[in-house]
Amino acid sequence: MSGGGPPLTAGVCSVTYRALSADRVITLAARAGLAQIEWGQDAHIPLGDEAEAARVAEATRAAGLEVPSLGSYYRAGAIADPREDRRVWRRVLAAARALGARRVRVWAGDRASADAGPAGRRRTLDALKRCVDSAGDLTVATEYHSGTLTDDAGSARAMLDEVPGLRTYWQPPNGMPDERALDGLRAVLDRVDAVHVFSWWPTPRERWPLDHRAALWREVAGLLASTGRPMSALLEFVPGDDPGMLAGEARSLRRYLSGAEAGRPR
């Protein structure tokens, strides 16, 4: 393990509160003592409106918060028309740059890894390579999600090995026992830049406070700390989408991260 690395950083995804304005999300995050907001394209950063993205970025930083990433909904290989695909991707990059983000999150296709087939997988991988090659100083990282090439740790690892420079997020797959989920994180840990943090168990309908899966999140924090790399741990969804839950969830997340940092060899 490398020592002296920067601390793990706690933040929130704006999609946690899709129904709220960007300014309200900023206020909630600052009051909760969080350090970052990943702005979501679907609700708060509409593609094609770089002026609004720049305004949100300025307001975020004025509140003392960082903008590590744009959470885009671009699905690599899913747009059949190459010209339209390039147009959408250019707009994603423009939004990320207007935000001053250093990372853009994308989706690894629109098919489960078991259903993509060789041609579908190749189409997605080629699109991801084009994303990485055209992103310049922006990092491209995939969502770790069902219905994509990252729905299985082996598929995700193979994808990362085939696309140099591509990074990934991680989150616990729905219904997966803790140890198996952690094995999946270990399989891709060297390419992980951020984690989406929530406690759904055993299905997305059962949304619990983080402490309901405290053992899992402490292990995750320890693995992230072991890399010695900068890492975003971003709250994504809270029980009942309740703004009143954010401060308590943020305290739990910071507790896991600070405990992991304290235990990391220097």
Q: What is the mean pLDDT of residues 230-244?
A: 97
CA distance 247 to 249: 6
Predicted model pTM: 0.95
What count of residues does the chain have?
Answer: 266
Torsion of CA 178, 184, 188, 193, to 10 degrees: -40
Q: Transcribe 66-127 into DSSP letters.
A: B--EEEEEEETT--SSHHHHHHHHHHHHHHHHHHT-SEEEEE--SS-TTTSHHHHHHHHHHH
Q: Indicate the pLDDT class of residue 4, thresholds 50, 70 and 90.
A: very low
Q: What is the per-residue pLDDT for 5?
A: 47
Q: What is the per-residue pLDDT for 1?
A: 34
Q: What is the per-residue pLDDT for 264?
A: 73
Sign, CA dihedral 105-111-115-119, equals: negative
Q: Indicate the pLDDT class of residue 130, thresholds 50, 70 and 90.
A: very high
The alpha carbon of 145 is separated from its chain's Cα centroid by a whole number of angstroms, namely: 10
CA distance 165 to 37: 24
- Mean predicted lDDT score pLDDT of the chain: 96
pLDDT digit string, tens, across residues 30-80: 999 999 999 999 999 999 999 999 999 999 999 999 999 999 999 999 999
Cβ-contact 144, 113 below 8 angstroms: no
pLDDT digit string, tens, across residues 163-190: 999 999 999 999 999 999 999 999 999 9
pLDDT digit string, tens, across residues 81-128: 999 999 999 999 999 999 999 999 999 999 999 999 999 999 999 999
Phi, psi of 168 (to 5 degrees): -145, 155
Q: Indicate the pLDDT class of residue 265, thresholds 50, 70 and 90.
A: low
CA distance 230 to 103: 13
Cβ-contact 156, 150 below 8 angstroms: yes
Cβ-contact 92, 41 below 8 angstroms: yes
Q: Indicate the pLDDT class of residue 198, thresholds 50, 70 and 90.
A: very high
Q: What are the structural domains, with CATH classification, of the chain?
A: 8-262 (3.20.20.150)
C-alpha separations of 145 from 22, 60, 137, 179, 195 in Å: 25, 27, 25, 18, 12
Cβ-contact 150, 143 below 8 angstroms: yes
